[in-house]
């Protein structure tokens, strides 16, 4: 076990114990530590923000009920328990919908969707593409541009790309790391501007 994993297991065990004892603030701490991660995982898995939110709430309701009553047999595996509960709820929801066969018509759902949300999404998509254009424009080596295109658009494997372009694994990692850092800078700047616009 690596240090990070040991550390996580220890923190999780303590949290489980504190929640089981009914310690004040333990449940909020648990939700604060794992809440965003569980929500991201559910959103990625189901692709429906509203459903992900519902399942997220239900996951924590079930887990906290369990921790209050019985605790966990392996308290250090709290992350795994949370993940398993969330996944099981998602699978159960899919089975329930399959039985009911009441999937909404996609066009109707799109038409009924909040247009403000759609506009915000469009702004995000435009900015994402704009930042990528900047990234590509800033790259001096055509080979590095090829690397990014093949990895992010064609989704080719790292080994294949390196072989085709005659790159080392280290060079590949370095290019990706720099691209991500640059994207992070530009994106952070964009988010800051958005916050300023909203606050004004």
Partner 1 sequence: MNHQVIEEQQIIDRYLMGKLPEEEEARFEEHYLHCLDCQEALRLGQHMQRGFKVAATQELEAAKTLRQAAFMAWLWRRQGALGAVLMLVLMAVPTTLMWRRANDLERRLQLSEASVESIDAPRRNALTEAGDEVVVGPEQDATEDVSDSTADLTAQLTSQRAAYEQRLQEAQQRNRDLDQALSAARQPSGNTRLIYLGTERSAVSQAPSHRLSLPDAPTWIVLALEVDAGGFESFRGVLYDADDEVIWRGDSLQLDIQDTVNVSVHSSSLKTGDYRLELAGVAASDAEGGARVEAVGTFALRVD
By C-beta, is 96 or 177 nearer to partner 1? 177
What secondary structure letter does DSSP report for 137?
Answer: H
Query: Binding residues for partner 1, per CB under 8 A?
Result: 2-5, 8, 11-12, 33-34, 36-38, 40-41, 44, 79-80, 82-83, 124-133, 136, 148-149, 151-153, 155, 158, 173, 176-177, 179-180, 183-184, 187
Shortest distance (Å) from residue 117 CB to partner 1? 16
CA distance 55 to 86: 7
DSSP class per residue in 29-96? HHHHHHHHHHHHHHHHHH--HHHHHHHHHHHHHHHHHHHHHT--SSGGGHHHHHHHHHHHHHHHHHHH
By C-beta, is 11 or 62 nearer to partner 1? 11
In this structure, what token pair is assigned to residue 190?
């964009």
Shortest distance (Å) from residue 188 CB to partner 1? 9
Shortest distance (Å) from residue 99 CB to partner 1? 26
Shortest distance (Å) from residue 119 CB to partner 1? 16
């Amino acid at each position: 076990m690596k240090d990070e994993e040991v550390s996580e297991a220890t923190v999780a065990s303590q949290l489980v114990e504190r929640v089981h004892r009914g310690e004040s603030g333990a449940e909020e701490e648990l939700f604060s530590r794992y809440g965003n991660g569980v929500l991201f995982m559910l959103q990625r898995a189901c692709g429906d923000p509203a459903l992900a939110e519902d399942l997220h709430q239900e996951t924590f309701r079930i887990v906290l009920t369990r921790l209050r009553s019985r605790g966990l047999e392996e308290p250090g595996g709290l992350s795994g328990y949370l993940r398993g509960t969330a996944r099981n709820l998602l699978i159960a929801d899919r089975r329930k919908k399959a039985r009911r066969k009441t999937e909404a018509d996609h066009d109707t759902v799109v038409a009924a969707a909040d247009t403000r949300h759609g506009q915000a999404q469009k702004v995000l998509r435009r900015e994402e593409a704009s930042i990528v254009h900047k990234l590509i424009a800033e790259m001096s080596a055509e080979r590095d541009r090829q690397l990014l295109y093949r990895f992010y658009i064609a989704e080719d494997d790292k080994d294949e790309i390196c072989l085709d372009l005659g790159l080392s694994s280290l060079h590949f990692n370095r290019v990706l790391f720099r691209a991500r850092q640059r994207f992070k800078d530009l994106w952070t700047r964009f988010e800051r501007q958005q916050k300023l616009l909203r606050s004004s």
